[in-house]
Chain A
Amino acid sequence: MNNFSVDNLVAIFNKINLNLASGKPSITLSWHHATLEEVCLYANLSLANLYPLCTTYKATKLAGAYLYWIAKLKPCLNLTTINLALNESVAIHTANAIIQERINKIINLDRKQFILACETLRYSNISIQAIIAILDTSIKSIN
């Protein structure tokens, strides 16, 4: 069980959409609410299967599960241009928001690492456990 709900995910996606719409180039996203519900459902199922003794989950585990399922289920559609790694980058930003909101720490990747992370999520197999392990060892306190 966790406190993170589909409403929180919608708030995050709306904020990302707002940011991207005002950027250059302007990008407009769309998504189906049912897909976001599916992301939440499978993130919770994965956590329950992976950690049957836990009743709540620490930030990196929660973030890792959501990162994995957003990258896998690809809920975002780009209405303006085709952006091949859009969902993977949205997944990273969502995980970052969860971690920062819970424990005030961040995933801070430089350009090369960010692109590599998006490519890995898109073109390679990576497990939830591996993602959680990477998050556990790479998050940093906000200066």
Chain B
Amino acid sequence: MNNEQQILELLAKHQGGIGSHLSEALKQQILESGKNEAENLQPFDNAKLCDAIDQSLQRMPIAWLIEQGYE
């Protein structure tokens, strides 16, 4: 695919848009490669979650909302 005419021809032949000319097997392969599996499979650690909440509330206090008038 190296010029505008080729792209226009491809789109004219395949009304479904870019990607619609791919075979089902290739589409499936692309979908599989796009999988976004978990980075970490360990059970969640409540202590770490609580520590993260402490830090989060310090960085972004709910008081900001109250000062803004959301009370």
Q: Interface residues, chain A, CB within 8 Å of chain B?
A: 2-5, 7-8, 11-12, 15-16, 19-20, 23-25, 27, 51, 53-59, 61-62, 81-86, 89, 92-93, 96-98, 100-103, 106-109, 111, 114-115, 118
Say yes or no: is B9 at the interface (Cβ < 8 Å to chain A): no
Contact A19 B66 (CB under 8 A): no
Q: Which of A4, A11, A111 contacts B50 (CB 8 A)?
A: A11
Q: Could you give, for residues 13-48 of chain B, a 1 whenever the CB lies within 8 Å of some chain A CB and a 0 otherwise?
A: 000000000000000000110111111111111101
Size class of the contact patch on chain B? 35 or more
Contact B49 A11 (CB under 8 A): yes
Interchain residue pairs with CB less than 8 A apart (23): A3-B44, A4-B44, A11-B46, A12-B53, A23-B62, A24-B63, A25-B66, A53-B34, A54-B36, A54-B37, A57-B36, A58-B39, A59-B39, A85-B65, A85-B70, A86-B70, A96-B53, A97-B53, A100-B52, A100-B56, A101-B48, A108-B59, A111-B64
Q: Contacts of B66 on A, CB cut-off 8 Å?
A: 25, 83
Given pairs A3-B42, A97-B56, 11 additional interface contacts (CB within 8 A): A19-B57, A20-B57, A25-B66, A54-B36, A58-B39, A59-B39, A93-B53, A96-B56, A97-B52, A106-B59, A115-B65
